[in-house]
């Protein structure tokens, strides 16, 4: 069985009518680098840190988990 993995922009273009997918704003190549601009689906890391961390910083465990999740997302969208 042969399975084709579609690039993220192509998948998002197909899902634009779905209320369960983020909105694709723009994508392309700029100075030899691929880029994609999508709708922000929540708070950014600075806003989260300010609202969740009483001392204004996250602990080691939280930072480690964020790094692991970011790495997983990167591998899903950019397989080696």
For residue 4, the model assigns a pLDDT of: 57
Sign of the dihedral through C-alpha 29, 39, 68, 43: positive
User: What are the boundaries of each domain within the chain?
Assistant: 7-41, 43-80
Strand locations in the chain (E): 24-30, 33-38
What pLDDT is stored for residue 47 in this prediction?
Answer: 82
Tokens found for residue 25: 């704003």
**How buried is residue 60: exposed, middle or buried, by Cβ count under 10 Å (0-12/13-18/19+)?**
exposed
Predicted confidence at residue 77, as pLDDT, reads: 53
Contact 20, 48 (CB under 8 A): no
Mean pLDDT per 10-residue run, the chain (80 residues)? 64 80 84 83 79 80 78 53
> pLDDT at position 48, please?
80
């Amino acid at each position: 069985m042969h399975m084709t993995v579609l690039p993220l922009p192509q998948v998002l273009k197909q899902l634009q009518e779905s209320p369960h997918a983020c909105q694709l704003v723009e994508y392309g190549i700029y100075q030899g680098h691929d880029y994609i601009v999508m709708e922000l689906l929540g708070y950014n890391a600075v806003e989260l840190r300010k609202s969740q961390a009483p001392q204004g910083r996250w602990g080691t465990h939280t930072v480690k988990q964020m790094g692991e999740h970011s790495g997983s997302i990167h591998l899903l969208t950019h397989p080696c």
